[in-house]
Amino acid sequence: MNLTGGISWHWMAWRSQTRWAPTAHAIEQWLLQSAQALPSKYKLEKPSLLLIGASAGWMMSSQWLSQFARVDTFDIDPLAAFLFKWRHGAALKAQNTALECHTQDALQNLPVLLEAHPNACVFFDNVLGQMRFQHAAADWQLVEKKIQHFKVQLKGREWGSIHDRMSGRLNARIAVDSALPIRQPEWNEQHWLTQLDAQSPWLDHLTQNVFAPGSRVQDFAWNFSPIYRHWLQAAWVRP
Ligand SMILES: C[S@@+](CC[C@H](N)C(=O)[O-])C[C@H]1O[C@@H](n2cnc3c(N)ncnc32)[C@H](O)[C@@H]1O
């Protein structure tokens, strides 16, 4: 059973498109800006991308994807390939971006994928923060260890991730017309959680060490439901 995706994820994402749109838009802006900062070798030649945990790309930007020469998506969910092509296929085709959608455990197969695509960038699309649901709660150290091991496997590679850092219930329902909270650089974690209206305790998604200290990490609020919010973090790691 897929505890982090599958039919229930597609149903929830399809129904929540309007509520999730401000976060998807903020992620798109961040991705487009980060593309401008790609190393010079990629400015001469369009890179290719391995997108891991792609699902149907419910929160992924077609515009950003179409900057790549080729996109390979990976998900364990057998519905994901068909739905990803349905949502992003036409936009990518219009920009001559080749698209291949694979059904497989890309976390388990990461070394093989990296070897098969030696020049591709890698982006973990809201999947690393889901690993805790694929392990027993008591195995949290194993999850953190596995994440550290991915970093070793990715050494020398251009890679990025967006993932849950924490999530949980709120003190009050989110007002329909309220603006999405934006983290100010001077806010510490506690101040940010207060701005998110987090009702303690929040769930730790075990991703606090994905990025090395000092990385340029971007924070996002995600109104998952009127009473439940996620705190997402994203960054690129450049060799
Ligand atoms: C929270 S969903 C994110 C979906 C997607 N990024 C989007 O915007 O719609 C996490 C996805 O990761 C997939 N996933 C979980 N473990 C995986 C693995 N080992 N390899 C590939 N995909 C995986 C799940 O099937 C699910 O579709």
Question: What pLDDT, on the 0 to 100 scale, is given for residue 25?
Answer: 98
Give yes or no for residue 43 having a pLDDT over 90: no
The bridge status of strand 228-237 relative to strand 159-169 is: antiparallel
Q: Does residue 131 form part of some domain?
A: yes
- Taking CA atoms only, the protein residue closest to ligand 1 atom 2 is 5
Q: How far apart are CA 235 and CA 207, in angstroms?
A: 12
31 lines ligand 1 (CB under 6 A): no
What confidence category does residue 176 fall into, taking pLDDT thresholds of 50, 70 and 90? confident
- For residue 1, being part of any structural domain is answered with no
Report the alpha-carbon distance of residue 27 to residue 10 in Å, rounded.
19
Both structure tokens of 146: 């596995």
Phi first, then psi, for residue 161 (nearest 5°) are: -155, 145
Number of domains into which the chain is organized = 1
Alpha carbon of residue 96 to chain centroid:
24
In Å, the largest CA–CA distance within the chain is 50
Per residue in 12-41, pLDDT (tens digit) is 999 999 999 999 999 999 999 986 666 555
Contact 193, 165 (CB under 8 A): no
124, part of any domain: yes
Cα–Cα nearest to 88, from 113, 111, 71: 71
**Closest ligand 1 atom, residue 131 Cα:** 16
| CA 37 to centroid of ligand 1, rounded, Å | 26
Q: How far is the CA of 126 from the centre of ligand 1 (A)?
A: 7
Average pLDDT, the chain: 94
226 alpha carbon – ligand 1 mean position (Å): 23
Q: Considering the domain boundaries, does residue 227 fall inside one?
A: yes
* Residue-level pLDDT at 41: 59
201 falls within a domain: yes
Q: What is the pTM of this model?
A: 0.96
Domain that holds residue 225: 7-237
For the ranges 40-54, 114-128, 188-202, 214-228, the lowest mean pLDDT is seen at 40-54
Residue with tokens 């219009």: 94
Instruction: Determine whether the shortest distance from the Cβ of 2 to ligand 1 is under 6 A.
Output: yes
pLDDT at position 8 over 90:
yes
User: Sorting pLDDT into bands at 50, 70 and 90, what band is 5?
Assistant: confident
Q: Is 232 in the pocket of ligand 1 (CB under 6 A)?
A: no
Q: Which two tokens stand for residue 34?
A: 């980060």
Q: What is the CATH number of the domain that holds 130?
A: 3.40.50
Residue 11 CA to ligand 1 centre (angstroms): 14
- 104-155 tens-digit pLDDT: 999 999 999 999 999 999 999 999 999 999 988 889 999 999 999 999 999 9
Minimum-distance ligand 1 atom for the alpha carbon of 2: 25
Position 123 scores a pLDDT of 98
Assess whether the C-beta atom of 130 lies below 6 angstroms from ligand 1: yes
